[in-house]
Amino acid sequence: MKGKEWYQADEVAEEYDNKRFSEGGRLIDHREKAAVLSALGPVEGKQILEVACGTGRFTVMLADRGADIVGLDISPAMMAKGRQKAQDAGVADHVEFMRGDAARLPFPDDHFDAVFAMRFFHLADTPVTFLRELRRVSKSQVFFDTFRRPSSRVLYNWLLPMGSRLYSNRDVESLLADAELRLENASYDFVLPYGFYRSLPGSIARPFRSVDTAIGETELGDSIASVSYWDTRVE
C-alpha cells in the first residue's frame, strides 16, 4: 500500500502516534513542535490553518496557546484522533477539523494569519500546486518542512511503506519562486534520519541525538541534515 491509500487506512491512524512518537520518536515530536512554535511565534487570537493535520498534535498544541485553528486532512480516521485530543485537552472550542484537498483549499484568499504544513511535502505529487494554495489563503506566513536530498534519508527511503519525495535547497527555492513566497528563514536538523530514532528506546536514542545535535551545529551540519524547515512570507 502506497501514499494516500496507506495514510488513510484506519489501522495506520490507530497506531500512528505510538509508532512514530513514542520512545526515541519523542525526540522528533519535541523538535518539530519547537520548530512550529519558533516560526509562528505568539499565536493567541490568531487564525491559523494546519494542512495535513493528521492526529492533531500541532493543532491541539496551538489551540492550547490561544490560537483559533483549522486542521485539514484527507484521513477521517486521523482527524477522529485529533478531535479526541482536542476534547481531552479542553480546547475543542478553538479547533475545527475538516476533510479536504490541499490542492483546492475551501477558503477565500488571505483568510488566515498563518498557514503551515508538517510531514506533508514528502507525499506531495504536485508540490507547487499545494504551495500556491497555502500561499493563497495566507495573509502573511507559510511554514513547512521537507526531507532533504542529499542526506541520510536516501539510505532508507526505499524501506518506507509509502512514497517519499526528497528536496534539494534548489528545488525548494524554485518552488518558492513559483508560489511567490519570500524566504524569511531556513533551518536544518537531524543528520540521522527519523526512522533511526523511532527504532530505538528513548534511553538509547537520547545520546545519539546529543551527538546528532553537536554535528548539526558545525559547518558541516546544514549540508548533511535530513530535514529542512522553511519559514516564508507572502510577497
pLDDT tens digits, one per residue of 2-45: 455 555 555 656 677 777 888 999 999 999 999 999 999 999 99
For the cut 50, the answer to whether the pLDDT of residue 137 exceeds it is yes
What is the pLDDT, as a whole number, of residue 2? 47
CB atoms within 10 A of CB 158: 7
Query: What is the arrangement of strands in the sheet containing 68-73, beginning at the earlier edge strand?
Result: 95-99, 68-73, 47-51, 112-117, 138-147, 227-234, 181-189
Rounded to two decimals, the pTM is: 0.91
Judge contact between 226 and 157, C-beta under 8 A. no
Domains in the chain, please, with CATH?
3-234 (3.40.50.150)
Share of the chain above pLDDT 70, in %: 90
Sign of torsion over alpha carbons 233, 82, 30, 205: negative
| Average pLDDT of the residues in 162-169 | 82
Sign of torsion over alpha carbons 209, 212, 217, 223: negative
Q: How confident is the model at residue 202 (pLDDT cuts 50, 70, 90)?
A: very high
| Cell numbers found for residue 210 | 546529543
